[in-house]
Chain A
Amino acid sequence: MPRFLRPFDHPLALGLLGVLAFFGGWEGGSRAGLVNPHIIPAPSTVFASAWAMLADGELPGHLAASLWRAAAGFTAGAALGILLGVAMARLPRLHGVLNPLVQMFRAIPSLAFVPLAIFWFGIGEASKIFLIAWGVFFPVWVNSFIGVRDVNPLFARAAASLGAGGWRLLLHVVLPAALPFIVAGLRVSLSVALVILVAAELAGAMRGVGYLIQLSQLVFRVDQMFVGLLALGVMGFTADALFDLGVRRLMPWYGAERKTGR
């Protein structure tokens, strides 16, 4: 690598380079007339629309609606997934009874429930929160179950010889030992929540980023459709980054445990 490029040999600088090249190329292509701006508007147009929609409060309203649904559905689904995953890993009989059912429901793609959820709960908040919780539940359940089931038996032995048993073994040893798995499940479901959120909002809503995209299509505002996509991208990216930050803060031992990280 030439000497003058060395300072740019940093993940952050390289990432920025990629982003700038992408949007620069897009903008350039648009201005040069290579793409039809009615089909793919230039980034400058999209950012201008986004700014206007931010200023008049329209975009924040849609974002708040979507974020609330995603957060509520994620919390409910994740809590149930962890609870049932841990319980089924610790109680073989409960596992025997519930496992065929859970596996059967897991095999049905959650998007297939969209029409049914709307029939049951209408197009209000309840159907969306139900759908997101449903989709989030399964990856969290699988990971919690495997994490608890496969806890290193040496930990349980060491803990037992130090006087831990029953609930205290679960709380102080089994759960922390399974935490890396549970966290991985939560992280996967973060993106699942976003997928189902949009699907549910496209199927019928009065507010939300998915609704914004659909409404913009009906009124031929392609730039606003792009604003919706941009909002979703930023939402997902931010959620993932915040999640990562939280994990690093709360579990300083986590990343270092597996040296093969990024």
Chain B
Amino acid sequence: MTTPPEPLIVCDRVGHRYRSALGRETAALSGVSLTIGADEFVCLLGPSGCGKTTLLNLIAGFLAPSEGEIRVGGVVVGGPSPERGVVFQDYSLFPWLTARGNVAFGPRMAGRPARERRRLAEECLALVGLEGAGDRYPFELSGGMKQRVAIAHALATEPALLLMDEPFAALDAMTRGALQAQILAIRAREARTILFVTHNIAEAIALGTRILVMSPNPGRIAEDIPVDLPYPRRRTAPAFNALYERLTQAIGLSVAD
């Protein structure tokens, strides 16, 4: 008898508590159970303090759950791994390396030969539209370019799963729109599973095949909403607006805000 393959990510009654400086215990997450299949683009949406970044950090392996268990690809998460690429909100690029050096860092740690690293780095830079910028240092790049290098940096280890923690939150609206289109194009070409944390409702609707609405005290998943609108998703479409309104209510904000 064969069992069907397990979904890519399985969270089984996951909780995370932390102790504040005054010794008070707070539940950042409580009883989160969910499965995410390969090829899904899941957006974690919610106000600040709802535990969405905590959940991402648990899946990345930066934090250990206080209760329950997380499995990725059938293996219990015990720490960070190049199998799970992470793109942070703040630029996590290494300032002492050029854009190419940054992107080649993962393959270098994996022991890939220099020639292959260079080829991979060029490929990943091309994927985010930065073919000519390999020799530039991070301080020579704009905010949008830095985040594109950060995406290339996470893609270069060819992870099965891409974890993105509000990656475009610090960018202006135009750059943000361009990068959203780019991440959809990368997903269409590379067919990767993406878990994307955002507090921006329109961003979640523009990107996700599924939106998990989270709510605080303690952090938990309040609603699980599949999105089957065709890409590209126009913000003026009635279905977009209907979903926007539904999510606004789910988060608990009044539509008038």
Contact = CB atoms under 8 A, between A and B. Distances in A.
Interface in A148-183: 154-155, 157-164, 168, 172-173, 176-177, 179
Contact of A157 (B62, B106, B140): B62
A253 B110 contact: no
B138 A253 contact: yes
Interface stretch (B21-29, B75-83, B199-207, B241-249): B75-83
A256 interface: yes
B109 A168 contact: yes
A252 to B, nearest CB: 7
Given A160-B80, A163-B110, A164-B109, A154 B157 contact: no
Contacts of A48: none
Contact of B109 (A155, A162, A251): A162
A129 to B, nearest CB: 32
Contacts of A158: 86, 88, 92, 94, 153
B85 interface: yes
B60 interface: yes
A154 B92 contact: yes
Contacts of A164: 105, 109
A257 B95 contact: yes
A37 B77 CA distance: 81
Interface of B: 60-62, 79-82, 84-86, 88, 90, 92, 94-96, 105-106, 108-110, 137-140, 153-154, 157
A161 B94 contact: no
Candidate in A159, A161, A164, A251 with the most chain B CB atoms within 10 angstroms:
A161
Given A173-B94, A177-B94, A253-B95, A163 B106 contact: yes
Interface of A: 154-155, 157-164, 168, 172-173, 176-177, 179, 251-253, 256-257
Contacts of A252: 137
B94 A155 contact: yes
Contacts of A256: 137, 139-140
Contacts of B138: 253
A162 B96 contact: no
Contact of B96 (A154, A168, A177): A177
Contacts of A253: 95-96, 137-139
B106 A162 contact: yes
A206 B86 CA distance: 63
Nearest to B106: A162
B139 A257 contact: yes
Contacts of A161: 60-62, 80-82, 84-86, 154
Given A162-B106, A168-B109, A253-B137, A157 B94 contact: no
A19 to B, nearest CB: 34
A159 B94 CA distance: 9
B86 A157 contact: yes
A116 B108 CA distance: 51
A154 B81 contact: no
Nearest to B98: A253
Q: Which of A160, A168, A176, A179 has the most CB of B within 10 A?
A: A160
A256 B141 CA distance: 12
Given A253-B139, A256-B137, A176 B81 contact: no
B82 A162 contact: yes
A155 B60 CA distance: 15
A157 B137 contact: no
From B81, B94, B110, residue with most partner A Cβ within 10 Å: B94
A174 to B, nearest CB: 11
Which one of A154, A173, A179, A253 has the highest number of Cβ atoms from chain B below 10 Å of its Cβ?
Answer: A253
A159 B86 CA distance: 10
B95 to A, nearest CB: 5
A161 B61 CA distance: 8
A252 B110 CA distance: 27
28 contacts: A154-B88, A157-B60, A157-B62, A157-B92, A158-B86, A158-B92, A158-B153, A160-B62, A160-B80, A161-B60, A161-B81, A161-B84, A161-B154, A162-B85, A162-B106, A162-B109, A162-B153, A162-B154, A163-B109, A168-B109, A176-B96, A177-B94, A179-B96, A252-B137, A253-B95, A253-B96, A256-B139, A257-B139
Nearest to B110: A163
A214 B106 CA distance: 59
Given A161-B80, A161-B82, A256-B137, A155 B92 contact: yes
A149 B250 CA distance: 43
